[in-house]
Amino acid sequence: MLKVENLRLGFTAGKKTLAAVDGISFAIAKGETFALLGESGCGKSATAQGIMRLLPAAGRILNGRVTLDGEELLSLPEADMRAYRGSRMAIIFQEPATSLNPVLTVGQQIGEMLARRLGTDGVEATERMVDLLRQVGIADPERRLTEYPFQLSGGMKQRVMIAIALAGEPELLIADEPTTALDVTVQAQILDLLAKLQAERGMGMLLITHDLGVVARMAHRIGVMYAGELVEVASREEFFTRPRHPYTQALFEALPDISRRDVSLATIPGQVPALTAMPAGCRFADRCQYVMPVCREQSPQWRESAVGHVVRCHWQGESVASNGAGHGITEQDLTPGRAFLELADLKVHFPIRKGFLQRTVGHVRAVDGVSLAISAGRTLALVGESGCGKTTVGKSLLQLIQPTAGSVRLGDSELVGLKGKRLRSARRHLQMVFQDPFASLNPRLRVGEIIAEGMGALGIEAEAAAQTAAVAALLLQVGLPGDAVDRYPHEFSGGQRQRIAIARALAVQPELLICDEPTSALDVSVQAQILNLLKKLQSELGVAYLFITHNFAVVEYLAHDVAVMYLGRIVERGRAEEVLRSPQHPYTKALLSAVPVPRLDRPTQAIKLPGETPSPANPPTGCHFHPRCPQAMDVCRQRYPQATDISATHAVSCHLLG
C-alpha cells in the first residue's frame, strides 16, 4: 500500500543542506504494522514528516519516491496533497498537548476534520464525534466534546488525537511515539485500541518508537534506523530471536531486567553522529565493538541473513559479546537497617478557591496519608499512574511543597515546619534530580557554576580552589569530561544533562537522592548509562534513592523496595521481589499486567481497568480503587481498608486480604 524508495530528506543550515534521512526504502502492506526503531536523532520523525510532506520550514525533500496505492505523493501540488492528509493518511504526533489547539473545544477540533474530509456537519457530525470518542475509550463523550484540551489528562488527550486521526477513515496511520509519556495502563489501552481499529479497518500503520516492549506487542515487521539510514529490517519473530546488526544487539543488551540486577548494563559508547560530521564508511563504526578497517572505508551493502531478514553490516558473526560491561556490581548489605528517613501519615492538600473573594470550596487531596521508611544505601521505588501524588511526595520531603499534616523525620530531626537556616541545613542531606534536566538547569550558567552553586549556598568548600577541585572530581565521578566545566547545558545531550543534574545533587554530599522519573525521556542506551551510574554511586557512596517512576523494568533492575501509590495513598509496599513477583493488590496486578515485555516468550494479557483514575478533589468513599476494581465488595464502598501484613516486609491495603 505504501512504498518508500530511496527517500532523502535534509535541513538547510546557512548555505548547506544536511541530510537527516539518507536513502531509506521500505514498504507497508494493508493491515500491517511496520515499526521504525532507533535512538533519538536517527531521523525517525523526519521520515514520518517527509511522507506526510509536513517538514518544518528548513526541511527539504532531496530525492526519492513515496507512493500510496501507486500514486506518487512527492510530486503532487500542495492543494492535492491536502486531500490525502487526513482522509487517505493521518498522523498521531508524539506530544498531544502541543498538537491540540488550546482555544478550541474537543468537538470543534474533531468537527473540523469531519467537515473538511467527509462534508459532515450538524446532528450527523455530533453523532459521529460521540461515536469516535466512544471508540477510543473516552467515557461520557457528550460532555467531553464541550471541554478544552487542558481539562483532559495526558491519556485522554492522546485518545482525542487518535479520534481526530481516525475521523477521516485513513488507509495509513503514522503513529509517532504515541505512548511515550503515558502510564503503562493507559499505554496498554491505547495499543489495544490501535490494534483493534487496524483489524477492523485493515489500516496500514507506521509505528515510530524506541520502546522494544511496544514493538514486541504491536509490530509485524521492524526496521532499525541509525544516523539517517536503515541498518536492519526483519519480521517480528526474526528480530526478537535472531537480531543481526551490532547496533540492534546492543539495544537489547542495554535493557534493564531483574536477571541483570547484579551486573552493570551494557552501554553503547559515544553518540549518534551529528549531521555535520557523518563518517564516510559505516555510520556505526565509531561505536561498534566489532569494527574492522573496511567499516571505516566503505558503507556496507544490504545482505539477506534469512527470508525477509536483511542487514547492512560488514561483520557476519552470530552475536555480540557483552562488551565487557557486564562486570559485577558490589551491592550494599541489603538487610534493612534503621530507617534514616521516615514519613508518617503525610498529607498534602491544595485548596480549591472560587468566586470573587476566592473562598476555599474544597481541597485536592494530592497526598492523603502516606507512611514510608527509607534505609541508608537502599533504593525505594515509588510507582503508580500519573496524578497519584508521587512527585508531590518527593517535593514535600524537601519542603518545596509545604505538607498539610503528618511528619517527615530525618534521623532525630523533624523537617515539617522548619524554616530559614535550619531548613537549608537539613536540605544538605536530601537532594532532588528532576525529570527534565533541560528545564531544571539554568541555561545562563556554565556547568561548573551550576554544580558549585549548591556548595556556596550551603557553605560547603567555601574556598574557590577547593570548590574547583570538588567540581572536577564530581564531573569525573558522573563520567563527564573535565572541559565540561566551561560549557553551557545546551551543548550537551539529554543523557549528559541528566549526569550534570546528578553531579549538582551530589555536590552537597547528601544521604538521599530523590530521583523523579530521571530516565523517562531517555533512549534505552542512554538510560542504561544513567542506571549504571546510579548503581555505581550507591555502591561507592552508600547514598539512598527514592526513585519515582512508572517504568517497571527500571524498578526490577534498581529497586530494593517498592511502594505502589494510588490516588494519594500507598496500597502495597514491600521488598521488590515480593511486590513484583507476588503482587497482592488488584491495582498492582493490573499495573504489572500492562507492562509491555520486549520478548516473544512472555506474552502478557493486560488486566483492563474500567473508567479512569478519579479526581483527587473528589475521591470515592471507602477504598479509592473500588470503582475500577473487578473484585470490589460492599465493604470496599463503605470504608478504607487497613494495611494487612503479608510478611514482615510486605503490607497491602485491601479488604480482600483483611
Instruction: Locate the domains of the chain by residue range.
Output: 2-88+170-312, 102-167, 339-429+510-653
- For the chain, first and last CA: distance in Å? 57
Q: Tell me the backbone φ, ψ of residue 65, rounded to 5 degrees.
A: -135, 145
**465 SS3 class:** helix
Torsion, Cα of 35, 41, 43, 46 (10° steps): 110
Cβ neighbours of residue 120 under 8 Å, at least 6 residues apart?
A: 114, 128
Q: Which three cell numbers stand for residue 112?
A: 473540523
477-490: pLDDT as tens digits: 888 888 889 999 98
CATH 3.40.50.300 fits 339-429+510-653, yes or no: yes
Element (H, E) at 643: strand 643-645
* pLDDT (0 to 100) of residue 162: 87
- Is the Cβ–Cβ distance between 453 and 459 less than 8 Å? no
- Is the Cβ–Cβ distance between 340 and 546 less than 8 Å? no
Class of domain 2-88+170-312: alpha beta
- Is the Cβ–Cβ distance between 35 and 221 less than 8 Å? yes
Rounded CA gap, 249 and 254, in Å?
9
Number of Cβ within 10 Å of residue 1's Cβ equals: 18
* pLDDT (0 to 100) of residue 628: 92
Q: Where are the beta strands (DSSP E) in 255-393?
A: 302-306, 309-312, 339-354, 359-375, 379-383
Distances (CA, A) of 440 to 40, 550, 602: 21, 20, 38
Rounded CA gap, 522 and 494, in Å?
7
The percent of the chain in helix, strand and coil, each rounded to the nearest 5, is 35, 25, 40
- Is the Cβ–Cβ distance between 498 and 441 less than 8 Å? no
Q: Which three cell numbers stand for residue 571?
A: 496500597
Helical H runs in 92-235?
A: 96-99, 106-118, 122-135, 141-144, 154-167, 184-201, 212-218
Q: Which three cell numbers stand for residue 213?
A: 516492549
Q: Which three cell numbers stand for residue 599?
A: 520478548
Amino acid at site 102: P
- Is the Cβ–Cβ distance between 247 and 239 less than 8 Å? no
Rounded CA gap, 515 and 536, in Å?
15
Rounded CA gap, 70 and 78, in Å?
18
- Sheet strands side by side (includes 339-354): 359-375, 339-354, 405-410, 413-414
- The residue length of the chain stands at 658
Rounded CA gap, 140 and 129, in Å?
12
Rounded CA gap, 340 and 344, in Å?
13
Q: Which three cell numbers stand for residue 53?
A: 510532506
**314 SS3 class:** coil
Residue 252 Rama label (left phi>0; alpha psi -120 to 50; beta)? alpha
Q: Where are the beta strands (DSSP E) in 50-105?
A: 59-68, 71-72, 89-92
- Is the Cβ–Cβ distance between 73 and 67 less than 8 Å? yes
Q: What is the DSSP string of 594-620?
A: TSPPS-SSS---PPPPPS-PPPTTSPP
37-92: pLDDT as tens digits: 988 888 998 999 999 999 988 899 999 999 999 999 999 999 899 888 888 899 99
Rounded CA gap, 588 and 573, in Å?
10
C-alpha gyration radius of the chain: 26
- Give, to the nearest 10 degrees, the angle between helix 524-541 and helix 494-506: 20
Query: Taking the alpha carbons of 220, 225, 229, 232 in that order, is the dihedral positive or negative?
Result: negative
Q: Which three cell numbers stand for residue 460?
A: 560547603
Helical H runs in 434-523?
A: 437-440, 447-457, 464-477, 494-506
Rounded CA gap, 97 and 83, in Å?
25
Rounded CA gap, 70 and 275, in Å?
32
Q: Which residue has the cell 526519492?
A: 64
Query: Taking the alpha carbons of 507, 508, 509, 510 in that order, is the dihedral positive or negative?
Result: negative
Rounded CA gap, 610 and 349, in Å?
27
Quote the pTM value: 0.84
* pLDDT (0 to 100) of residue 318: 65
* pLDDT (0 to 100) of residue 517: 86
Do 2-88+170-312 and 339-429+510-653 come out as alike in CATH topology? yes
Show the low-confidence residues of the chain (pLDDT under 70). Answer: 181, 318-338, 521, 601-604, 658
* pLDDT (0 to 100) of residue 29: 95
